[in-house]
Structure 1
Amino acid sequence: MDRRSFLSAVGALAIVPLAGRAMAAPMEYKPGLVTEKLKAGETVFLDFKASWCTTCKAQERVLDALKAENPAYEQAITFINVDWDEHGKSDLAKSLKIPRRSTLVVLKGDAELGRIVADTSKGSIKALMDTALTAATA
């Protein structure tokens, strides 16, 4: 088998597992969405991020890896991306006292269950996601 055929075959095999486990894209924030989801009894995981933020990108890679490792996260938790450039000074950001982009927050009902600010460690983000999963499945 020549190199091109080999690489094509390997590439095709790499796509197959991903097709069966496609991750759902997080919802994009719009005013009223968080309140709506919380009133419906959902556990909400907010990701305040900016497209140009390297810390946000690092957090996103960890979030995606953890979701791939444990599909229960996406089945039980409502993930919402909040564009910092557009909504950083919104009522939502003010009410939650969000200090900056690269802030992750978990909410359930009227309670904030946890937050991470500018932390990209897998352990910290996993702990926050586990908190959300526990609340969502309780």
Structure 2
Amino acid sequence: MKRRDFIALGAAGLGMLGRPAMADPLNYSESLLQKHLAAGDTVFLDFKASWCGTCAAQDRVLKQLKAANPAYEANITFIDVDWDEYGKSDLVKRMRIPRRSTLVVLKGDQEYGRIVAQTGVDQIRQLMDSALAIATGS
């Protein structure tokens, strides 16, 4: 490695210090969901498809809100549910998920909120704030 490349790489790494790392959401499996619910975690399910424009808009808002408030990721378990794979699953039927681009907050066996096809920052922030309040008990 050339010295200048090493220095540039080191400087880039130092530039990332102090910035919270955003974790990627977990990918859904029934056992993963059950594990987190059984542990008493607050779970934020994102029913999405890679080809869905509304899902992409929701994803941009979710990333923006997580970056602005690290407490979301520190206290809430985010799980992506691939609509192409699970759109006709027992989970979707049991929870009566009407379509992709549905966001749902769960804890234990209780649903605490849901948004269907909404992309507004205020609506998504409200759902995430309610999830945070449930997770932290405040």
Give the match's secondary structure for 1:35. helix
Cα 1:121–1:94, aligned 2, differ >3 Å: closer, same or farther?
Answer: same
User: Which residue number corresponds to residue 118 of structure 1?
Assistant: 117
For 1:108 and 1:75, the matched residues in 2 are separated by 16
In structure 1, list runs of 5 or more residues that go unmatched.
1-8
Cα 1:58–1:19, aligned 2, differ >3 Å: closer, same or farther?
Answer: farther
TM-score w.r.t. the length of structure 1 is 0.87
- Which string of whole-angstrom CA distances, capped at 9 and with x for unpartnered residues, describes residues 22-56 of structure 1? 20000000122211110000000000000000000
Q: Counterpart of 2:42 in structure 1: which amino acid?
A: T
For 1:36 and 1:107, the matched residues in 2 are separated by 13
Equivalent residues in 2 for 1:29-108, closer than 5 Å = 29-108=28-107
User: Which residue number corresponds to residue 128 of structure 1?
Assistant: 127
In structure 2, list runs of 5 or more residues that go unmatched.
1-7
Q: Counterpart of 1:78 in structure 2: which amino acid?
A: T
1:23 maps to 2:22: yes
Give the match's secondary structure for 1:81. strand
User: Which residue number corresponds to residue 4 of structure 1?
Assistant: none
TM-score w.r.t. the length of structure 2 is 0.87
The root-mean-square deviation of aligned C-alpha atoms, in Å, is 1.9
Percent of residue pairs bearing the same amino acid type: 64
Report the Cα offset of residue 19 of structure 1.
Answer: 7.7
